[in-house]
Amino acid sequence: MPPSTHTYMSEQTKIQSESQSKEKLSFRVGDIVSLDLEKYERKIKSIKIRTRSELDIFEWSKRGYANNNYWIPLSAENVSRIEESNVSREEFIEKYEVPGLPVVINGCTKGWPAEVKWNRETLLKKFEDYRFKVGEDDNGDPVRMAFKYYLYYLENEAIKDDSPLYIFDSSFGKLKRSTQPQQAAKTNLKVSPINYSLDLSEDPTENQNKSEESKKKQPSFHRPCLLKDYKVPKYFDDDLFRLTGEKRRPPYRWFVLGGERSGTGIHFDPLGTSAWNTLLVGHKRWCLFPPFTPRKIIDPKLKGLDHEAVSWFTHVYPMLVSVEKDQDKSYAEEFEMVQVLQKPGETMYVPGGWHHVVMNLDFTIAVTQNFCSPTSIEHVWLRTRNSRPKLAQKLLNSSSFVDEYELEVSETQSETDGSDGECLCYTCKMKRKRKEKLDKQNEEAEKQMRKEYKRRERKEFERLNQEQQNNRVTKGKEKGKRYNDRMINEEVKKKKRKKEE
């Protein structure tokens, strides 16, 4: 028998309060490393301006999201969980990969050095001055921040920021020398003038024992040594992108670290890839939607709504789970939304094409990789053949599926083309009709969402107005009462005086 909702609720409350007390007990960055606070102030301002130029520097906390509670009861979860040691690769492929179903896997982190090493204190001591990527500027160039200042930021203004800066860094897989100049200067070692594009699997402290010659050849002193700290879970180690070679393949693995309310807005992963995401510290809240879900429903373009995860959970999520008068079920039910509260040690499997939005509920550390498994090769090939033809060709050579597939895609069943090159065969016509119908439905749904959003905004405005008015009335009453009390007091005193006279 499943445990009652009540049991779930109290378990969730326990998780939440444990997580909060842990945060309170931990040290402050300044206790461990030295900080130049003037430098920090300058840096944080410029980083905020560069990463979100649309936002005034004083507007980072204007929505007051820090006052909201985003934890969900465990009873709201509807994802399957498995134990890595109990489920074979074959079973995983059959039950989750082939049908494309998200699942949470437990037990993958057993024996990972990351279980011990990935915490604030150890990472701070190791990567104090290492500049991790915390965002991108308007040209798509990475914006980096020294780790100690990032942690200091989390301890201070990030507490109030609506959607705090978030470390999302793939440089432990690839790194150019020019990205970390301070580090090189600090260690006072010679660096050859080439660009490094290597696996950054070495520990800077291990380097101390190496000969001067080998230090020159392997400038590992400024490489984060994270690759050795984890292992790709067994279900995902057959990654066909390896065929392109490490240098050619697009970024595919990230070290991810952030505070409460930071996160990743709704998206699906590039090139049709699937992903795994293992959490070492903290809790993440996920919503996932199957590939066929209309974009307009789950990613509506609403005035004033940015693309941050926390805005999505504040404004879009409530609309998706509510059932409106003319609906018999919510959009969340209709489109089979999957909800997850991911806990430390859990690995989330995200099948290719699934839309997802992720928000950190407290301080989190995770690692995530995108991959192309033999099961999803067809899906990935279809999405790479135009944008990455060479990559697609390599995938194709590695598999036999295209022999059958090519026949299917190359036949349009007709040689009649419209003047604009549009195919006029029956199949293509029907495809266009279906698309038109779907577009219309989506437009209708989007209109409804806009209406609902406006209604909610109005309600919120009215509520705030009412609250203000109530406050005024209460204050007025208090004032009146104080005045009355004073009058009575004076009356009593007068009477007393008269009596005495």
Ligand X SMILES: O=C(O)CCC(=O)C(=O)O
Task: Specify the residue for token string 């004033």.
Answer: 304
Residues from 273 through 292 that contact ligand X (CB under 6 A): 275, 277, 284
Other Cβ atoms less than 10 A from the Cβ of 354: the count is 20
Q: Are 363 and 120 in contact (CB under 8 A)?
A: yes
* Distance, CA of 125 to CA of 377 (rounded, Å): 42
Choose the binding region for ligand X from 189-197, 269-277, 300-308, 485-493 (rule: CB under 6 A). 269-277
Nearer to Fe ion, 162 or 269 (CB): 269
Supply 324's token pair.
Answer: 């409106």
Strand pairing class (166-169; 274-281): unpaired
Q: Are 294 and 381 in contact (CB under 8 A)?
A: no
- The partner in contact with residue 44, picked from ligand X, Fe ion, none with C-beta cut-offs of 5 to 8 angstroms by kind, is none
Nearer to ligand X, 264 or 375 (CB): 264
Nearer to ligand X, 263 or 294 (CB): 263
Nearer to ligand X, 40 or 354 (CB): 354
Nearer to ligand X, 223 or 284 (CB): 284
Rounded least distance, CB 482 to ligand X, Å: 53
Choose the binding region for Fe ion from 8-16, 167-175, 268-276, 359-367 (rule: CB under 5 A). 268-276
Per CB under 6 A, the list member of 219, 233, 263, 294 interacting with ligand X is 263
Nearer to ligand X, 224 or 263 (CB): 263
- 94: DSSP letter: I
Rounded least distance, CB 203 to ligand X, Å: 25
Non-local CB neighbours of 43 within 8 Å, separated by 6+ positions: 145, 146, 149
* Distance, CA of 370 to CA of 350 (rounded, Å): 9
Per-residue H/E/C for 308-375: CHHHHHHHHHHHHHCCCCCCCCCHHHHCCCEEEEECCCEEEEECCCCEEEEEECCCEEEEEEEECCHH
* Distance, CA of 279 to CA of 347 (rounded, Å): 6
- The partner in contact with residue 368, picked from ligand X, Fe ion, none with C-beta cut-offs of 5 to 8 angstroms by kind, is ligand X
Nearer to ligand X, 144 or 284 (CB): 284
Choose the binding region for ligand X from 190-198, 262-270, 323-331, 470-478 (rule: CB under 6 A). 262-270
**Interaction between residue 299 and Fe ion (CB under 5 A):** no
Nearer to Fe ion, 294 or 352 (CB): 352
Nearer to ligand X, 144 or 283 (CB): 283
Helical (H) or strand (E) element with 481: helix 426-500
* Distance, CA of 287 to CA of 313 (rounded, Å): 9
Choose the binding region for ligand X from 49-57, 173-181, 215-223, 256-264 (rule: CB under 6 A). 256-264
Rounded least distance, CB 78 to Fe ion, Å: 19
Our separate counts of H helices and E strands in the chain read: 17, 13
**Interaction between residue 124 and ligand X (CB under 6 A):** no
Rounded least distance, CB 277 to ligand X, Å: 5
- The partner in contact with residue 277, picked from ligand X, Fe ion, none with C-beta cut-offs of 5 to 8 angstroms by kind, is ligand X
Residue-level length of the chain = 501
**Interaction between residue 154 and ligand X (CB under 6 A):** no
Characterise 214 by phi-psi region: left (phi > 0), alpha (psi -120 to 50), beta (else).
Answer: alpha
Choose the binding region for ligand X from 49-57, 200-208, 261-269, 493-501 (rule: CB under 6 A). 261-269
Choose the binding region for Fe ion from 61-69, 236-244, 263-271, 387-395 (rule: CB under 5 A). 263-271
**Interaction between residue 269 and Fe ion (CB under 5 A):** yes
Strand pairing class (80-83; 103-106): parallel
Please report the DSSP string for 280-317 in residue order: EES-EEEEEE-TTS-HHHHS---TT--S-HHHIIIIIH
Nearer to Fe ion, 261 or 284 (CB): 284
Distances (CA, A) of 282 to 81, 250, 468: 18, 28, 37
**Interaction between residue 356 and ligand X (CB under 6 A):** yes
**Interaction between residue 74 and ligand X (CB under 6 A):** no
Per CB under 6 A, the list member of 97, 269, 299, 362 interacting with ligand X is 269
**Positions that interact with Fe ion (CB under 5 A):** 269
**Positions that interact with ligand X (CB under 6 A):** 254, 256, 263-264, 269, 275, 277, 284, 356, 358, 366, 368
